[in-house]
Structure 1
Amino acid sequence: MIDLTQLKSGLTLTGDIAADATAFLQLHDFPKTAAHVGDVAREAGKLALRYGADVQDAQAAGWLHDISVVIPNHERIAAAQAWEVPILPAEQTFPMIIHQKLSVVMARALFGVQDEAILSAIGCHTTLKRDASVLDKIVYVADKIAWDQPGTPPYYEDIIAALDQSIDHAAFVYARYLWEMRDQLRVLHPWAQDAYEDLYRHLVG
């Protein structure tokens, strides 16, 4: 079993989420993830300012959204079971996706985040979900813009252009991208399908 308290052994948390998340990821030898979450936090803050959400909440969710990267992929289902996180069949098949839920547990237990709006945004940053909040969509879109792979994402120009319409239009760009690639994916998470259908109804009719 992965011991939550053991994960922060050797680290004194200060209450400054940006500094603490960076120190935590560097302690566990994830400097690239530390850089990525910083990029997402900054992008989320800009989007929050643009669309009227709480900037600090958006940045906090950005800093902590991938904090569970320290849990190896092959241990994520066991961690979810130990931490009583509900596991969907798609997550059992492709455990990488459950990292968003594990990050919620860690944000709450290790970093003291109790705000449900922040935890919600962390918990659906990869897939989004039905009836997502503005903050959920902001962190989802920020993660797609500041992605952690080499090069420029294929949807980048479309998602940037869509931001001129609304955060919903920008979220829909990536939700539709996943939907159109669904036959090539190992799994399409049901939350991602829900998000696509929800945004489609709202924007397309």
Structure 2
Amino acid sequence: RAASQWPETGRLALYLLGLRASCPPPDPSPQRFLVTWLKYYLEKDWAGSRRHGHPLTSYYQYSLGVLALCVHGKRVREEVIQRLLVAEQHRRVTRGIPADTEAVVALAFACLEREQLVRSRLAAELRVAVRGIRARFVEAQSENGLIGNIFSTPLAMQVFIATDKCRTHAAYGRAMAALLQRLDAFTSAAAMAQALPVLHGRSYLDIASMQCKEE
């Protein structure tokens, strides 16, 4: 199968998150076009998950797509969310996969609930799932403070920030100490984009409520 036929869900989702965070020009047309493409990619991924039992890309990219659409205030079909929720409930998301995937799933679920983009019953299920992910992060934290590895740790920390639990969990403080000791590991723009929000006490969810001012 040609690579061009595969949805580029993750790449476009990251671009849209970065675009929203950088306060784009007032004209919404370019963003609207990209959001439409992301919806298309996500639907293609969802169709693949029905056929193959998993997204065409990965659960990481799939959940990143849901998160990016949520940050832009766009609704996602409930079937698309349910597919991810069921996968998380059956631990398909993390089978042999680092903690970063589960962190992005939790951020997507937390965003959907916070922005009230899902019905109350589904929101309650998402809340339970996020709570479970957070508990597993606490349980899985290593003695050196990392949750997964150095690159998944900032994403896991964002889950604590997004759910207002960073002050009540000692695991967050240990993770922050571990992160500060290893900042020189973040040499790429993509890696730094995961760590910088945490260093400022923010998560990707805060992009949704950013107030952009003209300079």
Q: TM-score, normalised by structure 2?
A: 0.30
Q: TM-score, normalised by structure 1?
A: 0.31
